[in-house]
Amino acid sequence: MKRLLAILPVLCLLLASCSSTLNFFGLGSKEEKPQEPSIVLVDYGIYENGTLATVTNAVPRKLGTTFGMRFRTLKPEGGTSKVKIITASPGLIDPSKNAVVFSNETVTDVVTGKEYHCTFTFEKEWEMATGDWTLTAVAEDGSSIKKTFQVFNPQQ
């Protein structure tokens, strides 16, 4: 038993050195290459009539203001996929639900290579919450893009 206890540390060192040697010669475990994203950011900021008007993360709290980002998917080539759009706000008190809503999720079908808007427009007074708003687009493979905007009260 004493011999076994004396040999055990030597065996552990031997196994560790074999593992290191295999990795050195490329025979050990392979590191995965970083996966190319399937969704990319095109632009972001404030939009007017569907066109980017200002590149910014700062958004004035004003009715009719549209802010967010545009994205494009890269995979599958020549195909379509589903993208989950998540809009997270500081908290909106929806009068129809009489509850505070912090996020909204939708899923949309997209054509690979085509540009899509992921935006929010202040259409009602109760929607104009100041604070951080985060818009996220998540592709089917889990890759995502995210942009955070700071909604502020403009000087009158």
For residue 111, pLDDT beyond 80: yes
> Are the CB atoms for 138 and 84 separated by under 8 Å?
yes
Place of tokens 């899509």: 116
| Mean pLDDT, residues 125-153 | 96
| Mean pLDDT, residues 146-155 | 95
Residue 13 has a pLDDT of 44
Q: 8 vs 11, 20, 22, 138, CA distance in Å?
A: 5, 19, 21, 50
Partners of 145 in the beta sheet?
137
pLDDT digits (tens, 9 = 90+) for 45-64: 999 999 999 999 999 999 99
For residue 4, pLDDT beyond 60: no
For residue 140, pLDDT beyond 90: yes
Partners of 148 in the beta sheet?
134
Residue 65 has a pLDDT of 98
Question: How many other C-beta atoms lie within 10 A of the C-beta of residue 71?
Answer: 25
Q: What is the mean pLDDT of the chain?
A: 84
3-state secondary structure the chain: CHHHHHHHHHHHHHHHHHHHHHHHCCCCCCCCCCCCCCEEEEEEEEEECCEEEECCCEEECCCCCEEEEEEEECCCCCCEEEEEEEEEEEEEEECCCCEEEEEEEEEEEEECCCEEEEEEECCCHHHCCCEEEEEEEEECCCCEEEEEEEEECCCC
For residue 91, pLDDT beyond 50: yes
Q: What is the model's pTM? A: 0.75
